[in-house]
Amino acid sequence: MTVESLSVTPADLSRVLFDILGPLAEQRREGSSAEISESQVTLERPKNREHGDWASNIAMKLAKPLGANPRELASQIAEQLQSVDGIASVDVAGPGFINIRLDAAAAGQLAKTIVDAGEAYGRNDSLAGEVINLEFVSANPTGPLHIGHTRWAALGDSIRRVLAASGAEVASEFYINDAGNQMDTFGRSVLAAAKGEPTPEGGYPGAYIADLAAAVLEREPKLLELAEDDAVHTAREIAYELQLTEIKESLARFNVVFDVWFSERQLHAPDENGRSDIDVAVERLREQGHVFEQDDAIWVRTTEFGDDKDRVIRRGNGVYTYFAADAAYYLNKGDRGFTHKIYLLGADHHGYVHRLKALAGAAGDDPERDIEVLIGQLVSINGARLSKRAGNIIELNDLQAWLGTDALRYSLGRYPADSPLTLDPELLRKRTNDNPVFYVQYAHARTCSVSRNARDAGVDRDAFAPETLTHETEAALLGALQEFPRIVAQSAELREPHRVARYLEELAGLYHRWYDNCRIIPKGDDPIEDVHRTRLWVNDATRQVIANGLGLLGVSAPERM
């Protein structure tokens, strides 16, 4: 058989393995139930670098269905891999692990590949064809964003970035809860402040309400001359506009920009026939056969799809429930072409998981395929003070001013959503290697400094000789650089951008060790050789990968620190 010459990426190496496995499987297929797909052929970097650059357990995975001895199958695969260009050696270990070592030229070729690809390196098509609506934050427009919203903003935006980098067509969406009693309460609170009266019972406290009241009066000087209902309406609408603008500006400073701002009011607005989206949604659910009437109310039989109880969608008095708006909103997303919907909700919304999945089922979708509900856990920051404006929350604006966007974005992005989190502000403000965001950003700044100094010393990238990259730290660094596209794809598939952050920290450590051992600028009067020029390619490739990774987390990549 003929196998094409090996590229340097693990994806290409997987394809080579798959090409080898096909004929081997055909030889044994009679009487076996094995069906081999390329996705089964995975590679891992060995924890012990002495075992090689890549390892595969494919022989052990396929031995039983193929009716083969795993070590014998591994040996057959290894024998054919030995003849592939770019592979220096192949060993079979234990019960059937295949350890692969690339030659220096094949491994080093990656440096040029990365530099040539630039910002595109790491992007992949693992989610190509998926059309995703990603909803997160979705705070009430009745006050400033708080620390919980800060975590959901950082996490949601990073998920959006890795999804897009993996080929998905994704729209980030903020659902504005601008209908219902809370908006009237908001309007009454602002009007009371404008009148100099105490906050009404159940109203919104905090100095920000007084600030909004002053801004409303400046916009509408005759506010206090209006009839009470008109005054509440006017105060509510102007304050709502001002508060929503502040929310958008706070998020933009946090490097979070939404594609869609969806107003809940849109769902309640009647069309020319007097029917709202909610009215239509009830009828559509009825057509699916999951709506019934009981006790003068209209219900959706969500227990058929795993909910703990059926849900009232319209009460006996004719008033729609919040579930009705949820249903109309879900259907609206599908009508806009989103085949997959992801909701990122706060820790107090666990009850929504089964409810929303049941809603998807009642709407005729597959609850296991078409909807995901991710629950983020609480976050706290030691020593953070409650907002002077809001009084009872820790504001995003205050956190940004105190810790900075980069420290917040990175620190919130490097932990899984489902883990409770307490951040140490003293650590985040340190300019030491103990601070993860400083450690990674410093590595990027160092690559930039190395590149500047090299060019000042006459070292350029006019030559590229990857066969000269023979030091063990070069093999380790290049192996990590190879991993980046897989890390991005995995982060997207699992909705776990923290994997990018942890990868960057490992990469930074490998870069520092490489720099300490491999000179780019020759000593003293030693001549500039191709190995120095080639190492500059490795340096610049590392810079590109760190920058690309930080970009996926919404964090800057400084050139000087």
Q: In this prediction, what percent of the chain has a pLDDT beyond 70? A: 97
* Rounded Cα distance, 436 and 418, in Å: 20
Residue 127 lies in a domain: no
Residue 176 lies in a domain: no
**Pair 188, 95 in one domain:** no
Which residue range is the domain that position 506 belongs to?
A: 431-552
- For residue 297, with 0-12 CB atoms within 10 Å meaning exposed, 13-18 middle and 19 or more buried, which class applies? middle
Lowest mean pLDDT among 20-34, 257-271, 382-396: 20-34
Asked if 178 and 359 touch (Cβ cutoff 8 Å), the reply is: no
Residue 452 lies in a domain: yes
**Pair 95, 197 in one domain:** no
> Mean pLDDT of all residues in the chain?
93
* Rounded Cα distance, 335 and 396, in Å: 34
Answer yes or no: is pLDDT of 3 > 50.
no
Q: For 388-435, what is each residue's pLDDT tens digit?
A: 677 778 999 999 999 999 999 999 999 999 899 999 999 999 999 999
pLDDT higher at 50 or 478: 478
Residue 269 lies in a domain: no
* Band of residue 208 on the pLDDT scale cut at 50, 70, 90: very high
Residue 287 lies in a domain: no
Q: What is the mean pLDDT of residues 528-534?
A: 97
Domain end, chosen from 67, 85, 102, is at 102
Asked if 51 and 103 touch (Cβ cutoff 8 Å), the reply is: no
Task: Write down the pLDDT at residue 30.
Answer: 57
In this prediction the pTM is 0.91
Task: Write down the pLDDT at residue 521.
Answer: 97
Give the CATH number of the domain where residue 527 resides: 1.10.730.10
Residue 317 lies in a domain: no
Q: For 35-90, what is each residue's pLDDT tens digit?
A: 677 777 888 888 777 788 889 999 998 888 888 899 999 999 999 998 888 899 99
Residue 151 lies in a domain: no
* Rounded Cα distance, 100 and 83, in Å: 12
Q: What is the mean pLDDT of residues 270-288?
A: 95
**Pair 187, 98 in one domain:** no
Q: For 340-398, what is each residue's pLDDT tens digit?
A: 999 999 888 888 899 999 999 999 999 999 999 999 888 899 988 777 677 778 999 99
Task: Write down the pLDDT at residue 10.
Answer: 76
Three-state DSSP state, 364 = coil
> From edge to edge, which strands make up the β-sheet containing 291-294?
291-294, 297-300, 311-314
Q: How many CB atoms lie within 10 A of CB 188?
A: 22
Domain end, chosen from 230, 248, 266, is at 248
* Rounded Cα distance, 549 and 162, in Å: 10
DSSP string covering 41-89, please? ---B--SSGGG-SEEE-HHHHHHHHHT--HHHHHHHHHHHHTTSTTEEE
Task: Write down the pLDDT at residue 29.
Answer: 55
**Pair 86, 194 in one domain:** no
Ranges of H-type helices in 226-276 = 228-253, 265-268
Domain end, chosen from 190, 221, 248, is at 248
Provide the number of structural domains found in the chain. Answer: 3
* Band of residue 163 on the pLDDT scale cut at 50, 70, 90: very high
Give the CATH number of the domain where residue 19 resides: 3.30.1360.70
**Pair 89, 200 in one domain:** no
* Rounded Cα distance, 359 and 361, in Å: 5
Residue 547 lies in a domain: yes
**Radius of gyration of the chain from its Cα atoms, rounded to whole angstroms:** 29
